[in-house]
Every structure is written in C-alpha cells, then in structure tokens.
C-alpha cells in the first residue's frame, strides 16, 4: 500500500493532494524515507524549514544511505550558514549516488551476460 500511495503522491500535480498521500503512506510505514523526504520538500517549499529539517533527519534515521535527504538537509544547513555540516551531508549524498552507479553497472553486466548466454 505504501509504494502505491508514494507513486500516486509523486504523480499528483496538486501539492495538497500529494501531501495527503505522503501522510497516508506514513500511517502505514512511518519510516518510509522517500515519503518523509517528499513531505519535507513540501514543508520547505511553503516556508516551514524547521519541519522540513525534522523530516529530512527522520528520513536519514530510517535510511542513512538515502542520498536525496542528505542533499536536501545539506541545502537547509547551507542556507542557515552551517557550512561544515552542509558539506558533510552533500558529501554523503554524492557517496551514495556513486554507490548506486556501481549497482546499476553490476545489474547491466548481469543482464548483458544473461542475454549473451541465451544467444549461445
């Protein structure tokens, strides 16, 4: 149920409807990092930076390797003038994205190997 609501929330163009979907998703899975992060983005966009920061930090407690929350938290910290903390979160965001590329490459290799083996 959470994944469906998350997808619906992302696809909805109306912020209020998207917010309702993320909140509903969090009722089923309170530590769903993507929903927490997206809800944080909605809060940030309407000027509630304190709540956005709380949600980004909660997303990172739930999933410490979630790059988008690191990046978003880094932006808030940078705007606040806490450049050292912002740097740490931006570096973490980059590190986890780089790890993602490794996994995508491995998946590509497996898929390519499978299709090559099927041709033999």
* pLDDT(102) > 80: no
In tens, the pLDDT along 60-90 reads 999 999 999 999 999 999 999 999 999 999 9
- Given this model, what pLDDT does residue 110 score? 76
Instruction: Please report the pLDDT score of residue 82 as a whole number.
Output: 92
**How many whole angstroms separate alpha carbon 57 and alpha carbon 73?**
7
Distance, in Å, from the CA atom of 80 to the CA atom of 23, rounded to the nearest integer, reads: 27
Q: Which DSSP letter does residue 119 get?
A: H
pLDDT at 4 over 80: no
Query: Residues for the chain: how many in total?
Result: 120
pLDDT at 85: 93
Average pLDDT for the chain: 82
Which pLDDT score is estimated for 10? Answer: 52
| Model pLDDT for residues 11-38, shown as the tens digit of each residue | 445 778 888 889 998 999 999 999 999 9
Predicted pLDDT of residue 98: 72
What residue spans of 29-82 are helical by DSSP H? 33-45, 49-62, 67-80
Tokens found for residue 23: 């909140």
How far apart, in Å, are the Cα atoms of 84 and each of 16, 79, 80, 88?
34, 12, 11, 7
Query: Which structural domains are found in the chain, ordered by start?
Result: 2-119 (1.25.40.10)
pTM, rounded to two decimals: 0.73
Label residue 118 by pLDDT band (50, 70, 90): low
């Amino acid at each position: 149920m959470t994944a469906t609501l998350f997808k619906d929330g992302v696809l909805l163009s109306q912020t209020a409807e998207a917010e309702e979907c993320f909140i509903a998703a969090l009722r089923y899975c309170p530590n769903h990092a993507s929903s927490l992060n997206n809800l944080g983005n909605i809060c940030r966009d309407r000027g509630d930076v304190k709540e956005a920061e709380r949600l980004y930090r909660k997303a990172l407690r739930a999933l410490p390797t979630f790059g988008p929350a690191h990046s978003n938290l880094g932006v808030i910290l940078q705007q606040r003038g806490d450049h050292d903390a912002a740097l740490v979160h931006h570096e973490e965001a980059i590190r986890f994205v780089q790890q993602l590329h490794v996994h995508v490459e491995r998946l590509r290799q497996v898929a390519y190997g499978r299709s090559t083996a099927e041709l033999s």
